[in-house]
Chains A and B, each alone.
Chain A
Amino acid sequence: GAVVSQHPSRVICKSGTSVKIECRSLDFQATTMFWYRQFPKQSLMLMATSNEGSKATYEQGVEKDKFLINHASLTLSTLTVTSAHPEDSSFYICSARDPRDNQPQHFGDGTRLSIL
């Protein structure tokens, strides 16, 4: 079964809206979670590393004021796309490492965000 749960799976909203995406680790604690963005027919690009109890580490070119990350507990990280615009439409995927197994990361099922 899934060890990382991501919600919602699909969001359609109007331009200017802020959208929150949740990523939960099930049955294990994740001090670090990763947020990726994937455009159609392209690869996963790491946006930021979410650290429990401290500030997220953003990759170069990712606006931290645009993509707010909160990792307030050991099982939950949230990504908020603030004042979303059509160019923010994309597929967002989170991941986390379960220290009980040898998979480098377990991925959520992703969130398809469409901004009208």
Chain B
Amino acid sequence: AQTVTQSQPEMSVQEAETVTLSCTYDTSENNYYLFWYKQPPSRQMILVIRQEAYKQQNATENRFSVNFQKAAKSFSLKISDSQLGDTAMYFCAFMKHYNNAGNMLTFGGGTRLMVKP
């Protein structure tokens, strides 16, 4: 079974600054997918960024980037130029593989991020 751990229950950052959220996971799989989801107060689940384990290059989506260290089983999220709208819960998630029917996601415990003006 897979486990996902987020060691930072809460974090805060000043607007326009950079913050890094940590995530570690445990799996015996060699190929898998990792994700960061954002859950704002509206409780919607929004996919922020994905990383395929077979890719060495770290994924980037605008102000969001990851530091994927496969050997260390670490998958951190960096948010640059933080905005007030980034205030939300952030969940790291693991998935073994894609299939058309869908595959289960294993979520970490979450990190509550507060962006301060």
Contact = CB atoms under 8 A, between A and B. Distances in A.
A82 interface: no
B44 A109 contact: yes
B33 interface: yes
Contact of A30 (B45, B102, B105, B109): B102
A44 B95 contact: no
A44 B44 CA distance: 12
A43 B47 contact: no
Interface residues of B, number: 25
Contact of B107 (A31, A41, A44, A49): A44
B54 interface: no
A114 interface: no
Interface string A69-112: 00000000000000000000001010111010011110101101
Interface of A: 30-34, 41-46, 49, 91, 93, 95-97, 99, 102-105, 107, 109-110, 112
28 contacts: A31-B101, A41-B110, A42-B109, A43-B91, A43-B107, A43-B108, A43-B109, A44-B45, A44-B91, A44-B105, A49-B104, A95-B45, A95-B102, A97-B100, A97-B103, A99-B100, A102-B50, A102-B98, A103-B47, A104-B33, A104-B35, A104-B47, A104-B50, A104-B98, A105-B102, A109-B42, A109-B43, A110-B43
Interface of B: 33, 35, 42-45, 47, 50, 91, 93, 95, 98-110, 112
